Amino acid sequence: MYINAIGYYRREDCLKNNIKHEMQTREEDIRSYHNAIIHSLPHLPYDLTAIDLIIFMSDTGADEILCFIKKEFKSLNINILTALSDSTIINSIELINSYFLSKLSNKALLIYVAEEVVTCFFSNEKVAAKEGRVISISHAPIEHKRSRSLYMSYAKSMLEMNGYFLSDLSYLIFNDSTDKVIRNAINSLNIPEDKVLVNTDKPISKPIDSFLALAQNYKNFKTNDLIYILVFRERILMGSFLLEIE
C-alpha cells in the first residue's frame, strides 16, 4: 500500500482560548478538517471521487466533523468507518491494508482529529512518481520502561525482517519528545540528531503527534529514504510501521 498525499492543519488558538461558544467550536472543527484536506490536495494524483473508503478517528469526540463528512460524501459509494477512541494510527493503517488485501477498497482517506487534524490518502497500488510505500506494520503493545533497549530491538528487528539494516535508516519518527528519550534513540540507533523527527511543540505528547511529524516533514523526504514511525500512548508502544519513499 502507498501514501499518495498527506496534509495537516493546526488549530493553535485552541490552546490559547479554552472557552469558546459552542457554534464557534463546531465551525472551527469543520474548517480544520477542510483545511487539512486542502493542504494535501495539491499533491493528490487523483480526484476525491476516486476514494471508496474513509477511516475517521478522533481523540476529541469531534462528532461534528464526522457528521459533516457523512453528509459531504453521501452521494458517493464510500464506506465510512469510525475507529475507537483508544485506537491508534497503527490500527487504522492495518484496517486500510486489510481492505486493500481483501479487494474491498482501492483508495482510502484516513482522517485523524485531535487538537490538530491530519489527513492521509492511501492506495493499494502506486499511482504517482514519488510516493511512500508502507513496507511493514507492527502492532504489539509493549510498556517501554527501558526505552534504549526498546528502540534498538524494535527498530533492528523490523528492519532486518524486511531485508534492511540500521545503517539503512534515513529517519526515525515518534511522539515522545522528552530529551532523554530522544537522546536514547539517537545513541542506541546511532542515527544523527537531525534524522530524528518529533513534534516538540507540546509538553504532553499524543499518538497523533507521530502522524503530525510525518505530515510536517513529508515534503522533505527523498526517493529511497527509509522512515521508521513509532506510536506511543503514554508509556506504551502501540506499534510502528516502516515506510520507503519510491
Most confident option among 5-19, 43-57, 71-85, 229-243: 43-57
What CATH architecture does domain 132-245 belong to? 3-Layer(aba) Sandwich (3.40)
The residue with cell 482560548 is: 17
Question: pLDDT higher for 245 or 42?
Answer: 245
* Domain range summary for the chain, segments of one domain joined by +: 2-123, 132-245
Q: Which residues of 167-185 are buried (b: 16+ CB within 10 A; e: fewer)?
A: eebbbbbbbbbeeebbebb
- Name the superfamily (CATH) of residues 2-123: Thiolase/Chalcone synthase (3.40.47.10)
Are the folds of 2-123 and 132-245 the same? yes
Q: Model confidence over 205-219: pLDDT tens digits?
A: 677 888 899 999 999
Q: Model confidence over 40-50: pLDDT tens digits?
A: 888 899 998 99
**Residue 171 pLDDT class (50, 70, 90 cuts):** very high
The residue with cell 482517506 is: 109
Distance of alpha carbon 201 from its chain centroid, rounded?
17
| pLDDT > 90: percent of the chain | 34
Give the per-residue pLDDT at 6: 95
Torsions phi, psi for 144 (to 5 deg): -105, 75
Torsions phi, psi for 18 (to 5 deg): -80, -15
Q: Which residues of 72-83 are buried (b: 16+ CB within 10 A; e: fewer)?
A: bbeeeebebeeb
Q: Strand 79-82 to strand 53-58: parallel, antiparallel, or no bridges (unpaired)?
A: parallel
